[in-house]
């Protein structure tokens, strides 16, 4: 790697820290990635259409949920952030690649829309918009991925990708093989919670109250602030550059 390339990457990383350092973490992250103080609820095992085979993924932009079919008539439902109105799409696709700690490079269109975006964020960085895992869809630049902005889950803020909580995408990632069929639709599904044993999945206790959301947000921002302060001091894993759409 040339000295010029190293300096360019270092400048990109420094730009991330500068962007966050000029104001509160919440204010900057919201302005970069969208979203507000509302959260998208929790995962839940639900009843689901018998026509879908175990292993398939159904993404409902209407429900703002990703359904992973685990058995005939049963799916794990995860809250997601969905595309904003001008970035809507739908169709049948498949998982073509998987990446742990993917790096992130904004497209020229994203830079034009928001010039404050860094030109590149390395994999493993606490402010990487793709989070800790990414599953690439077809030949497109769309992905199912984690996030560095969990307050956006449940909202229509992405540029076309499907965002999940990091803990949820880490749970889903090893269960999804390359080639998995993915249906992306605006259709809404009539699902109901399914009783299950504690060993099968954590118990779903319902969407958080406003007070619980406030406490979770406060705890996250405290952690986020600590990550920002230490990001420049810790070693970052090497990652392959890719033209990503968040």
Catalytic residues: 145, 161
- Nearest Cα to 80, choosing from 95, 63, 99, 97? 63
- Nearest Cα to 210, choosing from 36, 77, 62? 36
Give the CA-trace dihedral at 126, 137, 53, 154, to 10 degrees. 50
Bridge partners, 65 (sequence order): 60, 79
Q: What is d(CA 147, CA 140) in angstroms, rounded to the nearest whole number? A: 19
DSSP-derived letter for residue 101 is: S
Q: What is d(CA 66, CA 63) in angstroms, rounded to the nearest whole number? A: 8
SS3 10: helix
């Amino acid at each position: 790697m040339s000295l010029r390339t190293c300096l360019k990457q270092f400048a990109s990383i420094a730009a991330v820290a500068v962007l966050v350092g000029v104001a509160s973490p919440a204010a900057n992250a919201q302005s970069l990635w969208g979203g507000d103080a509302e959260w998208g609820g929790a995962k839940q095992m639900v009843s689901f259409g018998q026509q879908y085979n175990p292993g398939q993924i159904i993404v409902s932009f209407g429900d703002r949920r990703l359904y992973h079919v685990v058995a005939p008539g049963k799916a794990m439902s995860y809250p997601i952030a969905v595309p904003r109105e001008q970035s809507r799409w739908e169709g049948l696709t498949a998982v073509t690649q998987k990446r742990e700690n993917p790096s992130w490079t904004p497209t020229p269109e994203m830079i034009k829309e928001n010039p404050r975006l860094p030109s590149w964020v390395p994999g493993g960085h606490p402010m990487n918009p793709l989070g800790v895992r990414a599953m690439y869809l077809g030949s497109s630049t769309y992905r199912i991925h984690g996030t560095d902005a969990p307050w956006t889950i449940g909202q229509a803020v992405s540029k076309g990708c499907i965002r999940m909580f990091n803990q949820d995408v880490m749970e889903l990632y090893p269960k999804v093989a390359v080639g998995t069929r993915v249906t992306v639709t605006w259709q809404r599904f009539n699902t109901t919670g399914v009783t299950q044993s504690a060993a099968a999945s954590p118990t779903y206790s319902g969407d958080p109250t406003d007070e619980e959301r406030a406490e979770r947000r406060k705890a996250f921002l405290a952690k986020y602030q600590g990550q920002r302060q230490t990001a420049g001091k810790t070693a970052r894993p090497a990652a392959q550059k890719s033209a990503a759409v968040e």
